Amino acid sequence: MTGTSFTAPRPGVWMLDHGHCERPRSTYLHALFSAQYTAGFRAGFARYGALLDTIEYAAIGGFPYLAVRPLGAPPDAKGTPPKLIFKLLVALHPALRKRCKRATEVFVERPWRTDIAKFWREVPAAEARITALADVDLTALDDAALVAHWESCHALAAQRILEHFTFASATMVPVGDFLAHVQTWTGAPPSEALGALRGHSPASTGGTRAMVDAAVGIAALPAARDVLMSDRPATEILATLRTMPAPAGPAVETLLGRYGDVAISGHDLVDLSLVEMPGLAVATLRAHVRTPATADDARATAERVAATLRERVPMTDRARFDDLLADARAAYPLRDARTGIDFWALSVLRRSLLAIGTKLVGQGRLQEATHVFECTPDEVRALIQGNGPAAAALASRAKARRDTTIEEAPAVIGGTPSEPPPAEWLPAGAARVQRALGVYLGQTSSGAPATAKADVVKGLGASPGKKIGRARLVRTAADFARLEQGDILVAPITTPVYNVILPLLGGVVTDRGGLLSHPAIVSREYGFPAVVGAGDATARIPDGAMVELDGDAGTVRVIA
């Protein structure tokens, strides 16, 4: 998309969502996200008393951009008004008065407890619905039935995305509130306080648990182990393992059935899935069978961190510390738990779209099946009916998306982001919500990395420990196939989907992300060292170089 005009679709300051893409997103994913993202945050902010209307999503130059919309402010507002005017607005504007009242109620009612319970209560039904769609044999469907199946998959994915962003505040407010209070009481940085939450997000390691179960099942069946270690083609190995008796066959089927069609990068529907990289799946299973995972009592470590923090809290506030910690631990897993279910729903949608794309190729409507992702849902419907974009136009969209990198996208469009109003200008409840959201969102991304020596890359120490290993740069899904056991993954960013292949890794380094980014959370849950927000790690660390990763100091040193 070189030469693309990065023009804001509406007034306001638009910020590149660089933590969730490396190249332009597919047209289909943009269409799927746009309305749901904006509506979800609007509902969540209203429920939790934030003085924000929403975070608006838009595709600009093919990339996802976000605009923070303060409640009651016009889209073209430039910064916070003067103190007197702002305080008058808060006191007199009906919507702002109502929202401030809600913010006060939030810390009495603690709605996240209801929302957390609701989420876990509804998980079985959500998984059952996805399973039912995943179990459909697409080859047995006629054209009309396949289209109806796709429509059902699309509706489910749209619902999951809407709920994902609606539930976001149920995580952000209690976790951010805990971090903010700990910092006030103890002066501890967020990196230290987050250690008290380790081990409380089991969904962050869900893909690996399925991989571990499959490896354990294979190891327990000599015939299955022989198949896995054979020199057969990887596709044949997986197909054979899926048909073997228990415990191997069912465990491998669960792994590939739940995670096989999920795009490994997690960034887009168009990216490669695990079943499309059978060599990677086989290599990861072999790594587990050869070196079984050792138990890591993450929760015991978290309890020690919490006890140390608690000793530094004033005696009169320790009961509040315990209460805030309990709520933060309950809310912490929701981010990756939501993501895991939602990516599964997207994988079912992806499979249905590829089936439609294959039929459209046969009809001459597409040059490649994956070009279906270059369409909006309405364009897919038009193509099915014999209309829609020309195959050559869709091929051109695909090429432009592949050839464009995030370096071509401006970080900000439409001005300079303004700071939120000072907390002292707000009523107590609204100030507390604002601070909680600010702390949480501030830890999901990173600022400029600190200056380091020529052979040292500096970032944020997201998970403690040291590791020496070979750096393996991963920029696209195809790069995963080059990973070997013990490698240190160096990537622009990661998503929770990566955890399916994490058993191969010795550590993680990312250009982007903060202490509450996905790579940071996952690394803490696995207990291996990680450095995030390193800025230019992928540019400065040669692929294949031996590096020393220090998750305590937040550094990566090239040693050979």
**Residue 349: per-residue pLDDT:** 96
**Residue 477: per-residue pLDDT:** 67
CA distance 379 to 385: 10
CA distance 504 to 17: 28
> Own/partner pairs for 393-398, CB < 8 Å, 24+ apart?
394/366, 394/367, 395/367, 395/368, 395/371, 397/27, 397/371, 398/368, 398/370, 398/371, 398/374
Which of 216, 225, 276 lies closest to 247, judged by CA?
216
At 136 the three-state DSSP class reads coil
Point out the domain boundary residue: 290, 322, 341: 290
Which of 405, 503, 450 lies closest to 24, judged by CA?
405
**Residue 451: per-residue pLDDT:** 54
Residue 387: phi and psi, rounded to 5, are -115, -145
Point out the domain boundary residue: 237, 267, 290: 290
CATH code for the domain of 551: 3.50.30.10
Contact between 98 and 51 under an 8 Å Cβ cutoff? The reply is no
Domain assignment of residue 231, yes or no: yes
Residue pLDDT tens, the chain, 560 long: 445 679 999 999 999 998 788 889 999 999 999 989 999 999 999 999 999 999 999 999 999 999 999 998 888 877 788 899 889 988 889 999 999 999 999 999 999 999 999 999 999 999 999 999 999 999 999 999 999 999 999 999 999 999 999 999 999 999 999 999 999 999 998 889 999 999 888 877 666 678 888 999 999 999 999 999 999 999 999 999 999 999 999 999 998 988 888 877 777 888 888 888 898 889 888 877 887 655 567 889 999 999 999 999 999 999 999 999 999 999 999 988 888 889 889 999 999 999 999 999 999 999 999 999 999 999 999 999 999 999 999 999 999 999 998 889 999 999 888 888 898 999 999 999 999 999 999 888 765 455 556 789 999 999 989 999 999 998 876 777 787 888 999 998 887 666 666 667 889 999 988 998 888 888 888 788 999 999 889 999 999 999 999 999 999 999 98
- 138: exposed, middle or buried (Cβ count in 10 Å: 0-12, 13-18, 19+): middle
Contact between 123 and 131 under an 8 Å Cβ cutoff? The reply is no
Domain assignment of residue 73, yes or no: no
CB neighbours of 551 closer than 8 A, spacing ≥ 6?
461, 462, 463, 464, 465, 466, 467, 507, 523, 528, 529, 530, 531
**Residue 448: per-residue pLDDT:** 47
Q: In what order do the strands lie in the sheet with 14-16?
A: 52-60, 63-70, 14-16, 412-413
305: Cα separation from own chain's centroid: 26
Domain assignment of residue 325, yes or no: no
CA distance 195 to 182: 12
Contact between 89 and 72 under an 8 Å Cβ cutoff? The reply is yes
Domain assignment of residue 267, yes or no: yes
At 47 the three-state DSSP class reads helix
Residue 49: phi and psi, rounded to 5, are 75, 25
Domain assignment of residue 447, yes or no: no
Contact between 224 and 218 under an 8 Å Cβ cutoff? The reply is yes
Number of domains in the chain: 2
**Residue 322: per-residue pLDDT:** 98
Domain assignment of residue 375, yes or no: no
Kindly compute the dihedral angle of the four CA atoms of residues 182, 184, 186, 188, in this order, to the nearest 10 degrees. Answer: 70
Domain assignment of residue 105, yes or no: no
- 76: exposed, middle or buried (Cβ count in 10 Å: 0-12, 13-18, 19+): exposed
- The domain of 552 spans 456-558
Give the pair of three-digit tokens for residue 188: 């501890």
At 116 the three-state DSSP class reads helix
Contact between 495 and 266 under an 8 Å Cβ cutoff? The reply is yes
> Interhelix angle for 111-134 vs 168-186, to 10°?
140
Q: How far is CA 434 from CA 48, 57, 105, 438, in A?
A: 10, 21, 14, 6
CA distance 434 to 442: 12
CA distance 97 to 296: 49
Residue 417: phi and psi, rounded to 5, are -60, 140
Point out the domain boundary residue: 262, 290, 318: 290
Beta strands in 332-448 (DSSP E): 412-413
